[in-house]
Amino acid sequence: MRRVAIAAAVALLAMLPLVPSVFGSYAVTLFTLIFFYGFLGQAWNIVGGYAGQLSAGHAAFLGIGAYTAALLSVERGVTPWLGMCRIIVSNTEALGGAVGYYITFTGDPRQFQFQDARAYYYVALVMMLAVTGIVAWLERRRFGVYLSAIREDESACEALGVNTFRYKMLAMMLSSFLTGIGGAFYAFYLFSLQPASVFGIPLSVEIIIRAIVGGAGTVLGPILGSFILSPLAELARYYFAQGGWHGAHLVVYGLLLIAVVLFLPEGAYPRLARLFRR
């Protein structure tokens, strides 16, 4: 049973690169969002899932990343590809002001602007796979074990001689660095930035809820969470907005969050994994 599940997952994964050539542009957008939020959820997972340190402010890192990349690109002409790597160093996000920032479209791939939505699709896919690879790798390393130990019992961990502060900080740095990269992607995918949208708590909730619903502290949890929630969110937003019911999809989100905390606190992935192991 377990092997079947793994084979199915691998097969699904192998099909992902083919999606843009088979389905229409709406599916491409949808999957790009799934990958993007999967990426963010996974980045949060390092500090929130493994180390058990709840961060409700991850949108801030996203915002910093987004603004830095946008500013560097708009003001200085530095390519976001480069900006993606330098986010942690330069956080000059305060300059945009409350009005926000608009990026002029040039369609130059060297400037991380693609005319074809499919390019974003592949970038998002690679980002998600890469961060999942990092997390899977970390989980088996001493670093990952330390983080789980900190989550389970911080004082016992410290008593055994682990520098818990150091590892929590490293986890936070790694997680925020990755989220910053996500921010750069966000800026150049949407082409506009407003502080309220990239720094707000709602975005943090969007990130956290994916990891929690899928299963925080597992390698595949946040990805699964994103595959469940992102399409749901998009469809709900679309249909509710059509009926003039703005905000209804967030009501659904809130109810879902409450239900998951009360009835499925470990998340969907561990539950599914146990189902298949039997």
251 contributes a contact to another protein by CB under 8 A: yes
Beta carbon of residue 251, minimum distance to another protein (angstroms, whole number): 4
Question: Nearer to another protein by C-beta: 119 or 248?
Answer: 248
CB of residue 261 to another protein, shortest distance in Å = 4
DSSP state of 112: T
Structure tokens at 80: 């976001």
Residue 133 or 254: the one with the smaller Cβ distance to another protein is 254
Q: 275: number of CA atoms within 13 Å, CB side?
A: 6
Distance CA 64, CA 72 (A): 12
Residue 261 in contact with another protein, rule: CB under 8 A: yes
Q: Please report, as residue ranges, which positions from 51 to 110 form the binding site for another protein (by CB under 8 A).
A: 52, 54, 56, 98
Angle subtended at Cα 85 by Cα 223 and Cα 144, rounded to the nearest 5 degrees: 45
CA nearest to 93, candidates 134, 61, 48: 61
Give how many residues touch another protein by CB under 8 A: 24
**Residue 169, token pair as written in the block:** 């900080």
**Does 235 participate in binding another protein (rule CB under 8 A)?**
no
Q: Least distance (Å) from another protein to the CB of residue 212?
A: 6
40 binds another protein (CB under 8 A): no
Please report where in the chains the tokens 């709900």 appear, as a residue.
Answer: 236
- The CB-of-258 to another protein minimum distance in angstroms stands at 4
Q: What is the C-alpha separation between 44 and 55, in angstroms, rounded? A: 8
Binding another protein (rule: CB under 8 A), the pick from 246, 271, 274, 275 is 246
Could you tell me how far CA 276 lies from the centroid of its own chain? 26
d(CA 16, CA 215): 22
Q: How far is the CB of 54 from another protein (least distance, A)?
A: 4
- 50 contacts 167 by C-beta, under 8 angstroms: no
Q: State the nearest-atom distance from the C-beta of 246 to another protein, in Å.
A: 6
**Within the chain, what is the greatest distance between any pair of CA atoms?**
58
Q: What is the CA radius of gyration of the chain?
A: 19
Please identify, among the stretches 57-65, 73-81, 110-118, 247-255, the one whose residues bind another protein according to the rule CB under 8 A: 247-255
Confirm or reject binding of residue 257 to another protein (CB under 8 A).
Answer: yes
Interacting stretch for another protein, rule CB under 8 A, among 15-23, 131-139, 220-228, 258-266? 258-266
Residue 250 contacts another protein per CB under 8 A: yes
Residues 154-213 that bind another protein (CB under 8 A): 201, 205, 208, 212
Cβ-defined contacts of 2-9 (< 8 Å, 24+): 2/276, 2/277, 4/276, 5/276
Q: Applying CB under 8 A, which residues contact another protein?
A: 48, 52, 54, 56, 98, 201, 205, 208, 212, 245-248, 250-251, 253-258, 261-262, 265
